[in-house]
Amino acid sequence: MLKAVIVDDEPKAIQSLIWELGNFKKDIEVIASFTDPNKALQFLESHIPDCLFLDVQMPTIGGFQFLEKLKDIDFAVIITTAYDEYAIKALKHEAIDYLLKPIDSDDLKDSIKKIKKHSERNINSAKLEQMLSNFNSQFDKKRITINTDGKLLFLDVDDIIYVESDGNYCTLFLKDQKKIVVTKKLKEIDKILPEHYFFRIHNSYVINLNKIKAFIKNEGYVIMDSDQKIPVARQRKSDFLEKL
């Protein structure tokens, strides 16, 4: 059973969508709905649905701004709107579908099929990641294995200088100016890196503690062996100093 959350500033639009989803009650259930995007953000901090039906035009926080405020999106996003000019922007924000109001039952049926496929991919990916996690734990933690783009990468941790996040992608910066882009979030990469070598110094960066050239205290950044300057998040500074 798929679990859905609806965010729309119009109560009638929520009621209408819940009624339409009632036609597919064997496949999907609405676990929460919100007219206030801020309350929805709080809910999603501790709940992970299978899908989110999200209105674009809301007075306090627009739909795309809402997505940018989410720390992680581990669920399918379906944009709902009365206007058709947002389709390309929806795709850029990795929405899996785009529904025009009033929502057509056949279009909603197609969306549910896409949500199922998305959910199945996540489950299969999670199983593979668990296998790799078990596999990585057998190493001496000087080597890690990453699954990306249908292939397994075997990397020596000593070759990794730092990792930079870009939404659902990460770039691993290696010695000799090499870099690898992987379709993973930073928290996923951080989990498989040995914590006595690496530290998440910022929301967007994990660094190899052995590759720090200098720490500029007054300005709050480190200089890596590659000469890259990386900011130290204020809330992580004390933990970082303990690691040094």
Assigned CATH for 139-243: 2.40.50.1020
Q: Please, which pLDDT band fits residue 124 given cuts at 50, 70 and 90?
A: very low
Q: What confidence score (pLDDT) does residue 141 get?
A: 58
Handedness of CA 21, 27, 33, 38 (dihedral sign): negative
Give Cα 101 to chain centroid, integer Å.
Answer: 27
| Exposed/middle/buried for residue 73 (C-beta within 10 Å: 0-12, 13-18, 19+) | middle
What dihedral angle (degrees, nearest 10) is formed by the CA atoms of 157, 142, 204, 241?
-110
For residues 163 and 160, give the distance between their C-alpha atoms in angstroms, rounded to a whole number: 8
Is the pLDDT confidence value at 139 over 50?
no
Nearest CA-CA partner of 93 in 171, 185, 24, 168 = 168
Q: What confidence score (pLDDT) does residue 90 get?
A: 59
Is the pLDDT confidence value at 170 over 80?
yes
For residues 200 and 172, give the distance between their C-alpha atoms in angstroms, rounded to a whole number: 13
- For range 97-107, the mean pLDDT: 90
Instruction: Record the tokens describing residue 113, joined without a space.
Output: 């099929």
pTM above 0.95, yes or no: no
Query: What residues contact residue 103 under an 8 Å CB cut-off, 6+ apart?
Result: 16, 17, 20, 80
Q: CA distances (Å), 6 to each of 15, 83, 100, 126, 175, in order?
A: 10, 18, 15, 25, 46
Assigned CATH for 2-130: 3.40.50.2300
Q: What confidence score (pLDDT) does residue 45 get?
A: 87
Q: Whole-number mean pLDDT of the chain?
A: 85
Instruction: Record the tokens describing residue 163, joined without a space.
Output: 């990792």
Instruction: Record the tokens describing residue 136, joined without a space.
Output: 């990585």
Q: Where are the domains of the chain?
A: 2-130, 139-243
Residue with the two structure tokens 């205290």: 217
Residue with the two structure tokens 């896409």: 114
Query: What residues contact residue 138 under an 8 Å CB cut-off, 6+ apart?
Result: none
Percent of the chain with pLDDT over 70: 85
